[in-house]
Chains A and B, each alone.
Chain A
């Protein structure tokens, strides 16, 4: 498509403006975590690693980071196992109500977090004896599964079903077929789905608020609770920077993975 010079100039400006609007505040957070000024004076009077040292020795931040990683890892593990099984069922087998089940599995991602949160909170506190670390993990798994199912199903649909038939035809049992044919073909999709699920869980705050056991703090929760304490501001910036990096990195990797390996497994 050929654009006039004016149109090109306008579109370029608009693109730059939008991207600046999104990323400048993020860069500011990152920059402020190195600023010598505790009140974010602009321009920063000087650069220092002091806030990173403070954060590293702050028990609250460290406990929150560990909790976040633990929750994200466990939720991802649950999601990968259940999501793969669900994808296999949805793409490889015909059964009554398949479309309905498919929709029900994907729905949690569209559901407002606050509704999911309240619903799970009611269930856990009224019927299952209260909130714990595990209720938080299960809460996160509900939406992590969706990501895994999406990735794995897409790969399974692209992969011809006759490949599995061929394996069994050549003498392999269903289990051997899974081990030698299906799983290797899905490895990329599983890793990508897992990374995305991890990232999603790591920075989640709404469902977390309603399902975390008493005294448990994830990194986003810690940030939220310390945001308005003036003396904590620089440390909040450090925590935010860490949060950004740990959330963005898996997404970047997942993107590269699904781009690279997609070509290799499709015909």
Chain B
């Protein structure tokens, strides 16, 4: 897959000129055995930004997080935190705290003592320590559980303790390594909203690693998509979703709906690879003309997947290839007018044809 890392703008436009909270310059990480986890990465993260690092497992996103935290040192390149070179600084000498995937709570300490831990290390006086820890527990709505043992908590509660512990000493940067991965869907959605609120009100820079595209788009000011140790695309959730820079991004963020090669030539009359998002496609009876100026093609309905609010309609094109269309189940009459094997016309506005590199 061709790399686009160096052609993608990675400096957030709204903060250009300020000192970035995190700056990775030419960072490369090679593990023993020759595995390159991160290829020559350049990435600036602005003060107060909420950045999600999105990619499949093994794409290098967690390694980037560990490089920022100081658990790994880069093979080459520089890591700067607020312009301070921390490339070789140990984790305890960086103003960065982490929420771990397995929470990593101290099993022999109570909830309160866990949250107090960073303050105890920072030699904050006992009464102030307690006050601040209780305040941090209140922000994650756990003030009632201060004296519990962490082993008596549910997954969601542990997650909140880990968050309170990482936030209590107000680090410059908070790193989150798939923190919601172990929670069920409802709790996850609730925590996403809370995280966003905490980030907004605290103003702390958040770097959030996830392999879940919905989560990445929901939370982020800016999403950085990783594949095989390289940045495929970095931009706002809208940019990444609406204007995917590569076939990989088009496929990983949202549903892959790519026309390429001969099919693209026949359907679009153009060379190259093109992505069309499923919700942009209209499905009509085959004998109805498409609206003026719209692109259209004909195919046979291969599969209808009903998911409640929407129905996914998979169409095998006469020109070859497959396109999915997403239909909103808005009519409420319950009986979709479509059936498998039916020949239909797909149409869309040409502006939704996104060229892929």
- Which positions in A face B, CB cutoff 8 Å? 159-160, 162-163, 165-173, 176, 180-181, 184-185, 263-267
Contact = CB atoms under 8 A, between A and B. Distances in A.
A165 to B, nearest CB: 6
Contacts of B105: 163, 166
Contact of A171 (B104, B122, B149, B151): B122
B65 to A, nearest CB: 11
21 contacts: A165-B71, A165-B91, A166-B98, A166-B105, A166-B106, A167-B106, A168-B91, A169-B70, A169-B71, A169-B91, A169-B97, A170-B97, A170-B118, A170-B169, A171-B92, A171-B118, A171-B122, A172-B117, A181-B106, A264-B149, A267-B151
Contact of B107 (A168, A169, A176, A267): A267
Interface of B: 69-71, 90-92, 96-98, 100-102, 104-108, 117-118, 120-122, 149, 151, 165-166, 169
Contact of B100 (A159, A162, A267): A162
A263 B151 CA distance: 9
A170 B108 contact: no
Contacts of A167: 106, 117
A58 B97 CA distance: 65
A171 B122 CA distance: 7
A266 B107 contact: yes
A169 B108 contact: no
A176 B100 contact: no
B104 A160 contact: yes
A166 B104 contact: yes
B107 A170 contact: no
Contacts of B102: 160, 162, 267
Chain A at the B interface: SS class:
helix
Contact of B121 (A160, A170, A266): A170
A180 B122 CA distance: 14
A264 B165 contact: no
Contacts of A168: 90-92
Nearest to A181: B106
B171 to A, nearest CB: 9
B226 to A, nearest CB: 22
Given A160-B104, A265-B107, 7 more contacts: A160-B102, A163-B105, A166-B100, A168-B91, A169-B97, A172-B121, A185-B107
A181 B107 CA distance: 9
Nearest to B122: A171
Given A171-B169, A264-B151, A267-B151, A165 B118 contact: no
Q: Could you say which of B96, B108, B121 has the most chain A C-beta atoms within 10 Å of its C-beta? A: B108
A260 to B, nearest CB: 13
A166 to B, nearest CB: 4
B104 A162 contact: yes
A264 B107 contact: yes
B163 to A, nearest CB: 12
Nearest to B93: A171
Contacts of A162: 100-102, 104
Contacts of B92: 168-173
B100 A184 contact: no
Nearest to B175: A169
A266 B149 CA distance: 12
B106 A169 contact: no
B159 to A, nearest CB: 13
A169 B69 contact: yes
A159 B105 CA distance: 11
Contacts of B71: 165, 169
B121 A163 contact: no
Contacts of B96: 169
A169 B98 contact: yes
Nearest to A161: B104
Q: Could you say which of A162, A169, A180 has the most chain B C-beta atoms within 10 Å of its C-beta? A: A169
A154 to B, nearest CB: 15
A12 to B, nearest CB: 39
A47 B165 CA distance: 65
B100 A165 contact: yes
Contacts of A267: 102, 107, 151
- Please give me the 6 A-B residue pairs with the lowest Cβ-Cβ distance, nearest first: A166-B104, A162-B104, A170-B118, A171-B121, A168-B91, A184-B108
A6 to B, nearest CB: 46
A177 to B, nearest CB: 8
A170 B151 contact: no
A163 B106 contact: yes
Contacts of A160: 102, 104
Given A264-B108, A266-B107, A170 B165 contact: yes
Contacts of B165: 170
A264 B91 CA distance: 28
B270 to A, nearest CB: 50
A163 B104 contact: yes
Contacts of B98: 165-166, 169
B66 to A, nearest CB: 9
B214 to A, nearest CB: 26
A184 B109 CA distance: 9
B107 A165 contact: no
A235 to B, nearest CB: 47
Contacts of A180: 117, 120
Q: Could you say which of A160, A168, A184, A266 has the most chain B C-beta atoms within 10 Å of its C-beta? A: A168
A160 B102 CA distance: 9
